[in-house]
Amino acid sequence: FFLSPKVEKKTQGKLQKRICQVVLEHFEQQYTAELGDAWSTVRDVLTSPWCWQHAVLLNRFSQSPGLEGSLAEQGYQPAFPAPLPYLPAAFRCYTSTAPARFPAQKHQPGRLKDYYLLNAASLLPVLALEVEDGEDVLDLCAAPGGKAVAILQCACPGHFQCNEYDDLRSRWLEQTIESFIPDPWINLLRFSKLDGRQIGDLQPEFYDKVLVDAPCSNDRSWLFSADPQQAVLRLMQRKELSSLQFQLLRSALKALRPGGSLVYSTCTLSRAENSDVISLVLNSCSNVMPVDISGLARGVSQEFTLLSGMQQHELLVLPEKGRAWGPMYVAKLKKVSST
């Protein structure tokens, strides 16, 4: 949809009232220190939902005639036009520079959806993971399921475990997969509700690839916390998240086979939950090494605004008007030997 200036102004006023000031003030202090001048641009996007964009990931298992033509008519173009280290032919995604939202499809039991609406930056962890046919894959924190759906657009894993500890989110995950993946393929998947911190001990050295899309302080949603008391509690608990993320990573590394690789991602700008967690893992695990993803970063730099000065094994997408994707942090590690 496109808003008239009058409606947009009215909408802006309504949305502005819903911004949680205690969270904004916290972010203001932290991210001014961490991002410098870049924070004001990012803040303008995060506090302006009317300028957010949605990508359209096509479902290769449900080809809808005329869908790509309809997307083109509405100004959508194929995402990731530049050469990337890994971009399977079946993986097709469309983006638009306008803050339009393609109509969502409702869940209908027994019928597959044609596409998935998502933040385009959330596809970067999947492209960094580089799953190949026949590999054993673990999605450690899989709900709501968008990245699992994206992985299955890329390859046919030999074994694919989608784990989600939270009961409600686990049901959401299963419904998402049901909506996009046909029955023969669903048989390749195994859903589990294990504590991610224990999977490494339960399934040591079982997987070729592991995705850890970790629980984090979700900057976009936290800014619109409806309950100020809940927001204060979240901010108090925020410093504990990096400890959980580190434990999840340690568990994921135990679950990896030697030679296997792991991608860690969050949807926060917070250095404590991003680079600091990865540095802690690299400094405390002698059998892990960073993997260079600068080729991926270069390939997507025309479509995404990336924070400069990052290490070669990581990238951070900063939302910007016209390409309001992210925040999304991605880092890649490789297990070189058994523990």
Q: State the number of CA atoms in the 13 A half-sphere of 50 facing the CB.
A: 14
How far apart are the C-alpha atoms of 95 and 79, rounded to whole Å?
6
How far apart are the C-alpha atoms of 206 and 166, rounded to whole Å?
23
* Tens digit of each residue's pLDDT, the chain (339 residues): 333 344 444 444 444 458 999 999 999 999 999 999 999 999 999 999 999 999 999 999 997 889 999 999 999 999 999 999 999 999 999 999 888 778 999 888 889 999 999 999 999 999 999 999 999 999 999 999 999 999 999 999 999 999 999 999 999 999 999 999 999 898 889 999 999 999 999 999 999 999 999 999 999 999 998 888 989 999 999 989 999 999 999 999 999 999 999 999 999 999 999 999 999 999 999 999 999 999 999 999 999 999 999 999 999 999 999 999 999 999 999 999 886
How far apart are the C-alpha atoms of 281 and 291, rounded to whole Å?
13
| H/E stretch holding 326 | none
How far apart are the C-alpha atoms of 71 and 1, rounded to whole Å?
13
In the chain the first and final C-alpha atoms are separated, in Å, by 53
Cα 27 to chain center, whole Å? Answer: 20
> Is 292 annotated as a binding-site member?
no
Of 130, 157, 125, the C-alpha closest to 142 is 125
Catalytic site positions = 267
Q: Which residues contact 182 (CB under 8 A, 6 or more apart)?
A: 61, 112
Predicted pLDDT at 13: 44
Predicted pLDDT at 212: 98
Query: Residue 289 has which token pair?
Result: 């090494």
Query: Residue 275 has which token pair?
Result: 């680079």
> Is 141 annotated as a binding-site member?
yes
> Is 195 annotated as a binding-site member?
yes
Q: Model-level pTM greater than 0.85?
A: yes
> Can you count the helices (H) and strands (E) in the chain?
13, 13
> Is 143 annotated as a binding-site member?
yes
Predicted pLDDT at 17: 52
Of 309, 315, 302, the C-alpha closest to 274 is 315
CATH number of 21-98+111-335: 3.40.50.150
**Strands (DSSP E) found in 91-169:** 93-95, 115-118, 136-139, 159-163
How far is the CA of 253 from the CAs of 6, 98, 280, in angstroms?
53, 40, 13
Predicted pLDDT at 34: 97
Name the residue ranges covered by the structural domains of the chain: 21-98+111-335
Q: Which residues contact 283 (CB under 8 A, 6 or more apart)?
A: none
> Is 38 annotated as a binding-site member?
no
For residue 191, the one-letter residue type is: F
The residue length of the chain stands at 339
How far apart are the C-alpha atoms of 71 and 8, rounded to whole Å?
24
> Is 213 annotated as a binding-site member?
yes
